[in-house]
Amino acid sequence: MRHPNVPESLDSWSILHRMLRLDRRRFDALDPAARAAIEAEAVAAFTALAGAPDGDLGVAQILGHKADLMLTHYAKSFDELSAAEMRVDKLALRDYLEPVTSYVSILELGLYEATGKIHAELRDRGLKPHSEEWTAAFDAALGEQAKNPRNAARLWAAIPQRRYVCFYPMDKKRGEAINWYLLPYEERAALMLDHGKIGRSFHGLVTQVISGSIGFDDWEWGVDLYADDPLVFKKLIYEMRFDEASARYAAFGPFYTGVQFAVAELPEFLRGERVPELRALEAAQPALR
């Protein structure tokens, strides 16, 4: 049943982030022919995953000690995510990649404002919350939100092809003194509206992907930021620190920041002789699947 105090969301891609560490010295020690064969096999598999009609794959070189490589998988279901994970794990390259951490989530569009409007409309129609009629009317209204062209485009967009990426998980605090989930719906909705205004002020400079992970992983949401200038991440996140929804109620996990590169550039990443590029040909992939 739909709870009147709970904001709804529209959900789409199942997402798996995988952070891995490359044993570069051991890989370098391989015979050149063996290295070439491993690279070719991995490029073929990654290309298939990135070009799948029902999924996508993003590849990024992570800066710092936390990891060397981040694979971001999009799929239509957890079963398909599992298949993608197994396909990567069967590659010869996996002998040189050590898993560091991972994150499971589902892409979501939060509907605080829309949910409030739907609830008000159903109240005006005299429908009793949780009744069969109320639930049917709510589901129909939510379906209309999914059909909205703007929402549909965001729900099933491919992984943004921008040079820099920043990923981090986050929670809303629910301690004894500060508890986001005990705030009245209207107050939470107003705080999220103000929070969203900051993100919209960076329109065109950053592409943001929010994924829900309650029940799937250790944090409640995963956040991916994509930009052509990494300084945008610092400016956006710093400005949001002063927003009440973040300053009072948000808790943040580890940050992973790096450079995205084309699948075809994977051998360059493995060889470590130059930073792999995000080629224009790769960046021209369709916006929708």
148 φ/ψ angles, rounded to the nearest 5 degrees:
-55, 125
Produce one character per residue of 157-196: b if its CB has 16 or more CB atoms within 10 Å, e if not.
bbbbbbbbbbbbbbbbeeeeeeebeebebeebbbbbeebe
Instruction: Evaluate whether 10 touches 155 at the Cβ level (below 8 Å).
Output: yes
The owner of tokens 């052509």 is 228
203 φ/ψ angles, rounded to the nearest 5 degrees:
-55, 135
Query: Of the listed 168, 226, 249, 256, which one is catalytic?
Result: 168
46 φ/ψ angles, rounded to the nearest 5 degrees:
-65, -40
The yes-or-no answer on residue 74 being catalytic is no
SS3 197: helix
Active site residues: 168
